[in-house]
Amino acid sequence: MKKNLFPPLLAALLLRLPLPDAVAQDALLSQPFQTPLQINPAWAGFHDGTYQLNGMYRSQWQTLTDPFKTIAAHLNTSLPAGKNKNHIVGLALSGNADKAGAVQFTTSAFALTGAFHYNFGHAFQHYMGAAVSFGAGNTALDLASVTTDETFTTGGTSEAIGFEKTNFSDLSFGLAYHLLSDTSHLHVGFALFHANSPDLAFTSDGRSSIRPKAVLAASYSYLLRPQLEFTPVAIVTFQGPSRQLLAGGQLRYSFASLLEANYALAGALYLRYGNALIPAIGIRMGDLDVGLSYDLMMGPLAGQDSRQGAMELTLSYKGKLKGISSGRIYNPRFGN
């Protein structure tokens, strides 16, 4: 027996399913600073250590037969540059996959990012970075699972879907400014994703593109006490006619002065305006960070999923390779 989807859920699915002369948008994320390359490619290379590994898993719409799922992974490397080795070259490889709904609409993409961070100013506390990212990917769907109005009346469909898979290329740019002191960090960035409007159409006579996405992001970390840090953040996204604001703050307590290793516990609360309230927790165990968040849905879609929101799990690991120097971050407590 086929279930009748509520119109809001159906609309949410169609926003993710390319149709002739349609547009597609990126998936929502709730812990973007845990996978920073998804905010701005100019974060490539700007971290402690020689390399950083980031991973993310997100699941939402649990009451559907096939919940929407998103996974992402990044390898981010940092190398010194310049005569005094105070500038930074960043190289990053990233991948993500997104599966939506019963039609198994899947988007998979990989990207290679290059960035350069120029260090300047008094006590070398300022960094200005720029990056470019080249990517490629594909989208696919299971035509056997696709149903239209005709399916319920005639048992078939006259929709002209030419193929089940299509490939695309992607181009993105980013700029970032960082000011680091012993007691505070300021990060401000602008990024333009999908600058070439990748075409995802499944028909030869139609076009379904990912609209360019502009992202403005800022965070400011400062010490309330020697072991207690507060970080307010704000991210504004523009993609086609859509606007999105994610704002909130994080408190992190460090046990560094009590233990030999670097351990910390964090709690955060974010608001995705008009969409969700997002509590999050995080723990740092040496070079490993683990984060978990849950979207408490708001607005017209909240009741259509039995008040079940979205769960997001993130992992981050920083490491150093013997014999390879990393870019020097001129701040002893820098931990991003």
Q: For the chain, what are the domain ranges?
A: 7-319
Residue 175 has pLDDT above 90, yes or no: yes
Round to whole Å and give the CA distance between 181 and 221.
10
**Of the listed ranges 104-108, 166-170, 235-239, 277-281, the one predicted with least confidence:** 104-108
Amino acid at 67: P
Q: Determine the CATH number of domain 7-319.
A: 2.40.160.40
CA–CA dist 244, 240 (Å, integer)? 11
Confidence band for 19, pLDDT divided at 50, 70 and 90: very low
Tokens representing 68?
């929407």
Task: State residue 335's pLDDT score.
Answer: 44
pTM of the predicted protein model: 0.81
282 vs 251, 286, 288, 290, CA distance in Å?
10, 13, 11, 6
What is the helix (H) or strand (E) element at residue 204, kind and residue range?
none
Classify residue 49 as left (phi > 0), alpha (psi -120 to 50) or beta: left
Would you state the structure tokens that stand for residue 41, as one six-digit string? 């490619």
| H or E element at residue 149 | helix 149-153
Residue 17: which pLDDT band, with cuts at 50, 70 and 90? very low
Asked if 296 and 271 touch (Cβ cutoff 8 Å), the reply is: no
Query: Whose structure tokens read 């290793």?
Result: 261
Residue carrying the six token digits 């002191």: 181
| Mean pLDDT in residue range 155-171 | 69
Q: What pLDDT, in 10s, does the model give residues 111-125?
A: 999 999 999 988 889
Cβ atoms of 279 and 266 within 8 Å: the answer is no
AA letter at 86: N
pLDDT at 152: 56
Whether the CA torsion 42, 71, 26, 251 is positive or negative: it is: negative
> In this predicted model, what pLDDT tens digit does every residue of 245-293 receive, in sequence order?
999 999 999 886 655 558 899 999 999 998 899 999 999 998 899 999 9
What pLDDT does 3 receive? 40
DSSP character for 11?
H
Average pLDDT value for residue range 5-33 = 51
| Top-confidence residue, 327 or 67 | 67
Element (H, E) at 13: helix 7-16
Q: At which residue do the structure tokens 């349609």 appear?
A: 22
Average pLDDT, the chain: 80
